[in-house]
Amino acid sequence: MTQDLNQMRDHMLTAIAAASGLDALDACRVEALGKQGTITALLKTLGKMTPEERLVQGPLIQGLREAVANGIAERKATLERAALDARLASETLDMTLPADATPAGTIHPVSQVMDELAEIFADLGFAVATGPEIETDWHNFTALNIPETHPARAMHDTFYLQQGIDAKAAGAADEKTTFSLLRTHTSPVQIRTMLSQKPPIRIIAPGRTYRSDSDATHTPMFHQVEGLVIDKGITLGHLKWTLETFVKAFFERDDIVLRLRPSYFPFTEPSVEIDVGYTLVKGKRVVGGAEPDGWLEILGSGMVHRKVIEACGLDPDEWQGFAFGCGIDRLAMLKYGMDDLRPFFDGDIRWLKHYGFSSLDVPTLSGGVGA
């Protein structure tokens, strides 16, 4: 029996090694290990043997089965590797041929609007300022005259860090507070600018901000731009002229009508909301028109509060200023006809191809800021 099994193993392994393709190899597998295969038939005989015979013959038959199975696996790997090598050798790519379509990325609408804002305000003498997105409670709230009982500090509005970052350990040796939250607006950049620069100051502060909110017109992460002017003799008239000039340049229309409504913000006094007039064109609201059909709120603004100026080490009797802020995402929606904020962050390539801008379409005031 042992001699017969050895001869059978040699015969099967020789046939496996001689298999010229995967089909021939599968035929060898079926002949040996299939339901009607030779080795399968031998395994069925184990049940008819005595315990003593099974103790001797069982390991021999199992050894034969294992040797054949391993041989088939090794031969299959060899044949598959040879087939892949042959395929790779036959498939070539001529890198000198022209591409069917030139790859072209597109500029996200938020990036485009940021560039437009920078161009407009640069012409008005404003510099672009930046600051950290992880902020201290003092910069984000206290220095902006936001009391500890203000709803904006509540957990449902602000993303607080589970474990704060020590400001001094982070390299801010002059700060004794802790980086403890994701900034809820870019106003802390105004505070940092007033602390680090001497007036006069004219800056805009675009960037990402974070609030716990999500629907068609609100997202947990969004983009804001805020402006700040600190100088002597600044009045609300300067604010109104600046915003009128900005809105007309951004929407590229001279028939823009603005409406200032009294409002309240802790960091400005007096505070005003800015509405822009719109006209209805085929049922859609279009910004502009000498005789508006309605109004859209686009900006919050006001004169910088005396306490904010004092918190930054300046004399409010000598220095005055105004500040304003708006959502960049909403500006993009108004100008380019989008009706939902959420696709801004979905990463859908179809949406970006539809609303995106050519990388060569760089906004300039001389050539226009429009698409």
pLDDT in tens, 152-182: 676 567 888 877 666 555 555 455 567 788 9
State residue 341's pLDDT score.
Answer: 79
Specify burial of residue 223 (Cβ count, 10 A radius: 0-12, 13-18, 19+).
buried
Indicate the residue type of 161.
L
Cβ(161)–Cβ(134) below 8 Å: yes
Tokens (6 digits) for 335 = 């100008």
Indicate the residue type of 169.
A
Indicate the residue type of 207.
G
State residue 173's pLDDT score.
Answer: 46
Question: What is the rounded CA–CA span in Å between residue 229 and residue 232?
Answer: 10
Question: What is the rounded CA–CA span in Å between residue 342 and residue 218?
Answer: 8
82 DSSP β-pair partners: none
Question: What is the rounded CA–CA span in Å between residue 55 and residue 82?
Answer: 42
Angle at 325 between CA 306 and CA 249, to 5 degrees: 125
Longest dimension (CA), the chain: 112
Entry pTM:
0.66
Question: What is the rounded CA–CA span in Å between residue 199 and residue 201?
Answer: 5
- Ranges under pLDDT 50 in the chain: 173
Give the orientation angle of helix 22-33 with respect to helix 51-90, to 10 degrees: 170
Indicate the residue type of 285.
R
State residue 222's pLDDT score.
Answer: 86
204 DSSP β-pair partners: 128, 227
Question: How many Å separate Cα 143 from the centre of its chain?
Answer: 30
